[in-house]
Amino acid sequence: AKYVYFFGEGKAEGRGDMKNLLGGKGANLADMTSIGLPVPPGFTLTTEVCTEFYKNNRQYPSELKGQVEEALAQVESLMNKKFGDAQNPLLVSVRSGARASMPGMMDTVLNLGLNDDTIQGVIAQSGDKRFAYDSYRRFIQMYANVVMGMKGELLEDILEEMKEEKGVHEDTELSAEDLKKLVALFKDKVKETLGRDFPNDPHEQLWGAIGAVFGSWMNQRAITYRKLNNIPAEWGTAVNVQSMVFGNMGDDCATGVAFTRNPSTGEHVFYGEFLVNAQGEDVVAGTRTPQPIKKSQGDGTLPSMEEVMPESYAQLMKIQQTLETHYQDMQDIEFTIEKGKLYMLQTRNGKRTAGAAVKIAVDMVQEGLIDEKIAVLRVEPTQLDQLLHPSLDPKAPRTVVAKGLPASPGAVNGEVVFSADDAEEAARIGLKVILVRIETSPEDIHGMHAAQGILTARGGMTSHAAVVARGMGKCCVAGCGDIKIDYAKQQFTTRDGKVFKKGDVITLDGATGEVMQGAVPTVTPQLTGDFARLMKWVDKFRRLRVRTNADTPQDSKVAREFGAEGIGLCRTEHMFFDAERIMAVREMILADDVDGRRKALAKILPMQKGDFKGIFREMKGLPVTIRLLDPPLHEFLPQKDEEIEEISQVMGVHAATLKAKVESLHEFNPMLGHRGCRLGITYPEIYDMQVQAIMEAACELIKEEGFEIVPEIMIPLVGHVKELEIMRANAVRVADEVIERYGVAVTYLIGTMIELPRAALTADEVATQADFFSFGTNDLTQTTFGLSRDDAGKFLPFYVEKDILPNDPFVTLDQKGVGELVRMGCEKGRSARPDIKLGICGEHGGDPQSVTFCHDIGLDYVSCSPYRVPVARLAAAHAAL
């Protein structure tokens, strides 16, 4: 088999569409080479090598060695250098690259091939001893850390000591002799720490580095990242071996990273940073403050590339244009300039915030680069959530204590913590925290995940913190030089001397970079402009309707603004908790007979009617499904002795009577107890009152205001067709009585929730009594798995962690089990009643993966919470495209 793909000088064996095999980086290096961009030659070891490696007990396929040697020889002949040669040595980088970009997850080794012989060749060829030793010491640092597994600080400390000794601040100020000494010190330290020599043989170095990249696919960091991002371990990573170009050969050299558009706002301006006389990830690591590429983007303190390297700048501008046109997407690029010559080292579709994703997609349609379909597909439904998050209330007072770079938008507040572990710990007990670090590294990922927002003192817009935060959709303020962090004291100090200790609350505004004292209030977002435009296209492509779960006129209004096309679930029990009516509800529950209950229900009737009128008004012209009372009655009674005492006085009922009632209503398993239609069967007057309220509300609005309403009355927790048959007959009787009394024509529907396995299994029978089904997948998940959601916290997270379940079945529908019941319910339902309306109203209605499933099995609509409506609309469009 072919395991190695060569690229160089305009020719490449690989192609851009071979990401699965070559990884993202390798495929794009091949692609950039083919379209004639300046890419240093090299070759890619495929992801298949990685999979074979793990399949065969960490052994490479036997053909690999020969193929690598052959490709290396090709590179040597193009570069006119020889790997391991003492006169004219070829140096290479060894870079990982999986299918999906995993920023910071796997480490690159640069300058590989250096040893005490080849260094002489590098000195001779470059005529620059300082550069040669700078490369050598960097190589030892990286190799010792990444390949040999030595702690990075051990060598970093020696470097710092040397700088201190010499009285300099920057690495660039060390002399050739200093660096040469450093190389020797580094090697000694390696030997001392690891008990073995730093490898001198370039081939041993090469295979060591290749092995480290494949090995890193299974390190904890990579595993965590894959888990968080749903990347399967089977994908594997590729390895790229590429001839080195040097950004650290002097002041006509540089290295940099850039985005073809602003990844934070989406604005169509090239954005990038670079460093003169630097190598590799110096820009990202935040060790030196990077310089702007464009003059207009600096603050004037540091010169821009536009000014100091105008030719390379012009070339870069042209290349970035070429890349955007070629990939038809915003690119995140890495480049190096060696002696005034520009080389491209990487390009990939840039990570961006949701706001940027929307703006870029809409702009690119206008620019004629992509069509509306592609634009819709460019925005991830899960990401959209970010846009619906609140932003700071512009009218709220605030005390800005520091300002950094607006690295990733959002407005959040929380208690300050200084380590990823503390952030995780705090989040576990439900605290909101802001992770404050000098800079972040891959070890901090779990803490970044747990925090509301991230604040760093160092690093630019392309720093680790900024890139990862944007990927996570987390608010981040980076490079905030206004604060001084003291990890030992667990505090940071602002420029004007304000001290913030661990636990103090701050607010971050990721859109402005401002850091504020305390918690600043927020407001909900306006969804206009580009967002509205994109959503228009979304609605054009989707088949699935999207409704909302809303219990109040206020929720209904929000949902309608978010584009809800009706209410799929209006729960009536919440309406009973209002201080005014809870007394009447309790009276009803305490009543000894039907008459007593009717009397109490008569008090509730006008209030319920008012509720429904309010909701119908907000949803004018759209369908509204109202679920009749579902929870067991004891939920409305006080449980604690003091409360019982208090309420008995207010109600004028003996405490003992009240207590006896509470006890008589006690259930061992309320979830499976006297609830749903079981209440309706035993206390029909409750449902009668609710149906009356719904129908009177509808009749009055139709009669008085000329509304168009089709109320949908939903009977919960049906397991047997007979239950529904009885409930339906009752509802029809009451509804028709109301219609007759008002003398208006109203169409209404009566349907049921499918939330018990038996209902799904006998859906053909149930459908004879139902105009619609709404799959209540929350309860259906509980009853199918036989687990209670309220008790699952003790074991469900463990199940997910151990891969027993792929994810939380209450978040993402379990398609194999619960989903199969839904599918069966649809088929059987339609077989008995072809025009039956089918929807889903569990939390799953707002989960993109579940929405796709709902589309595939042919539901008519999903219903989700108001804030998820745009997410569901977009997911429905993706499912249809």
- Known binding positions for substrate: 571, 627, 755, 776-779
Report the residue number, 258 or 570, with the smaller CB distance to Mg ion.
258
Report the residue number, 346 or 762, with the smaller CB distance to Mg ion.
346
Phi then psi for 402, rounded to 5 degrees? -160, 165
Residue 462 interaction partner, one of Mg ion, ligand ADP, none, beta carbon < 5-8 Å per kind: none
Phi then psi for 570, rounded to 5 degrees? -110, 115
Minimum distance from CB of 338 to ligand ADP (Å)?
8
b/e code 615-629 from CB counts within 10 Å (16+ = b): bbbbbeebbbbbbbb
Tokens of 304: 């821009």
The DSSP line for 441-503 is: -GGGHHHHHHSSEEEESS--TTSHHHHHHHHHT-EEEE--TTEEEETTTTEEEETT--EEETT
Contact positions with Mg ion (CB under 5 A) in 307-336: 334
Closest CA to 723 of 667, 780, 762, 777: 762
Report the residue number, 273 or 765, with the smaller CB distance to Mg ion.
273
Residue 245 interaction partner, one of ligand ADP, Mg ion, none, beta carbon < 5-8 Å per kind: ligand ADP
Minimum distance from CB of 140 to ligand ADP (Å)?
16
Q: How far is CA 719 from CA 6, 608, 648, 756, 783, in A?
A: 64, 27, 37, 6, 11
How far apart are the C-alpha atoms of 414 and 606, rounded to whole Å? 44
How far apart are the C-alpha atoms of 829 and 760, rounded to whole Å? 9
Minimum distance from CB of 240 to Mg ion (Å)?
10
Report the residue number, 67 or 255, with the smaller CB distance to ligand ADP.
255
Report the residue number, 91 or 872, with the smaller CB distance to ligand ADP.
91
Minimum distance from CB of 334 to ligand ADP (Å)?
4
Minimum distance from CB of 162 to ligand ADP (Å)?
23
**Burial of 659 per CB tally in 10 Å (0-12, 13-18, 19+):** middle
Contact positions with ligand ADP (CB under 6 A) in 204-263: 242, 244-245, 255
Minimum distance from CB of 428 to Mg ion (Å)?
29
Binding flag, residue 765, ligand ADP (CB under 6 A): no
The identity of residue 77, as a single letter, is S
Binding flag, residue 280, ligand ADP (CB under 6 A): yes
How far apart are the C-alpha atoms of 638 and 48, rounded to whole Å? 64
**Burial of 303 per CB tally in 10 Å (0-12, 13-18, 19+):** middle
Count of residues near Mg ion by CB under 5 A:
2
Give the annotated binding-site residues for Mg(2+): 755, 779
Report the residue number, 278 or 387, with the smaller CB distance to ligand ADP.
278
Chain residue at closest Cβ approach to Mg ion: 346
How far apart are the C-alpha atoms of 155 and 182, rounded to whole Å? 9
**Angle (CA) 371 30 80, round 5°:** 150
Stretch that binds Mg ion, among 225-233, 321-329, 344-352, 515-523 (CB under 5 A): 344-352
Active site residue: 480, 841, 854, 864, which one? 841
Q: How far apart are the first and last CA of the chain?
A: 36
Minimum distance from CB of 281 to Mg ion (Å)?
6
> Which residue of 44, 67, 93, 783 would you call a contact of ligand ADP, by CB under 6 A?
93
Closest CA to 103 of 262, 18, 221: 221
Binding flag, residue 29, ligand ADP (CB under 6 A): no
**Maximum Cα–Cα distance for the chain, whole Å?**
105
Active site residue: 464, 634, 855, 878, which one? 464
HEC sequence for 413-443: EEEEECCHHHHHHHHHCCCCEEEEECCCCHH
Residue 623 interaction partner, one of ligand ADP, Mg ion, none, beta carbon < 5-8 Å per kind: none
Binding mask 343-362 for ligand ADP (x = CB under 6 A): --xx----------------
Tokens of 714: 């939903």
Binding flag, residue 459, ligand ADP (CB under 6 A): no
How far apart are the C-alpha atoms of 574 and 571, rounded to whole Å? 7
Contact positions with Mg ion (CB under 5 A) in 403-462: none
How far apart are the C-alpha atoms of 23 and 47, rounded to whole Å? 7
**Burial of 496 per CB tally in 10 Å (0-12, 13-18, 19+):** exposed
Give the annotated binding-site residues: 571, 627, 755, 776-779
Secondary structure element (H or E) that encloses residue 122, with its range: helix 118-126
Stretch that binds Mg ion, among 345-353, 498-506, 522-530, 658-666 (CB under 5 A): 345-353
Residue 351 interaction partner, one of Mg ion, ligand ADP, none, beta carbon < 5-8 Å per kind: none
Minimum distance from CB of 146 to Mg ion (Å)?
10
Neighbours of 650 (CB within 10 A): 9
Report the residue number, 111 or 774, with the smaller CB distance to Mg ion.
111
Minimum distance from CB of 280 to ligand ADP (Å)?
4
For the chain, the residue count is 881
Minimum distance from CB of 171 to Mg ion (Å)?
18
Q: Is the dihedral of CA 18, 19, 20, 25 positive or negative?
A: positive
Report the residue number, 109 or 515, with the smaller CB distance to ligand ADP.
109
Where do runs of H (alpha helix) occur along 257-384? 282-285, 305-308, 310-327, 354-366, 372-378, 381-384
Minimum distance from CB of 128 to ligand ADP (Å)?
16
Residue 324 interaction partner, one of ligand ADP, Mg ion, none, beta carbon < 5-8 Å per kind: none
Residue 280 interaction partner, one of Mg ion, ligand ADP, none, beta carbon < 5-8 Å per kind: ligand ADP
Residue 145 interaction partner, one of ligand ADP, Mg ion, none, beta carbon < 5-8 Å per kind: none
> Which residue of 205, 336, 346, 452 would you call a contact of Mg ion, by CB under 5 A?
346
> Which residue of 98, 110, 238, 879 would you call a contact of ligand ADP, by CB under 6 A?
110
> Which residue of 19, 81, 82, 95 would you call a contact of ligand ADP, by CB under 6 A?
95
Contact positions with ligand ADP (CB under 6 A) in 306-345: 334, 336, 345
Tokens of 638: 């006080």
Report the residue number, 135 or 784, with the smaller CB distance to ligand ADP.
135
Residue 190 interaction partner, one of ligand ADP, Mg ion, none, beta carbon < 5-8 Å per kind: none
How far apart are the C-alpha atoms of 205 and 211, rounded to whole Å? 10
Active site residue 464: yes
Report the residue number, 108 or 774, with the smaller CB distance to Mg ion.
108
Count of residues near ligand ADP by CB under 6 A:
16
Binding flag, residue 108, ligand ADP (CB under 6 A): yes
Report the residue number, 344 or 412, with the smaller CB distance to Mg ion.
344
Q: How far is CA 597 from CA 587, 680, 876, in A?
A: 7, 13, 45
How far apart are the C-alpha atoms of 88 and 83, rounded to whole Å? 8
Taking phi first (over 0 means left), then psi (-120 to 50 degrees means alpha), and beta for anything else, what does residue 640 get?
A: beta
Tokens of 738: 């109301």
Under the rule (CB under 6 A), what is the footprint of ligand ADP?
A: 40, 93, 95, 104, 108, 110, 242, 244-245, 255, 280-281, 334, 336, 345-346
Under the rule (CB under 5 A), what is the footprint of Mg ion?
A: 334, 346
Active site residues: 464, 841
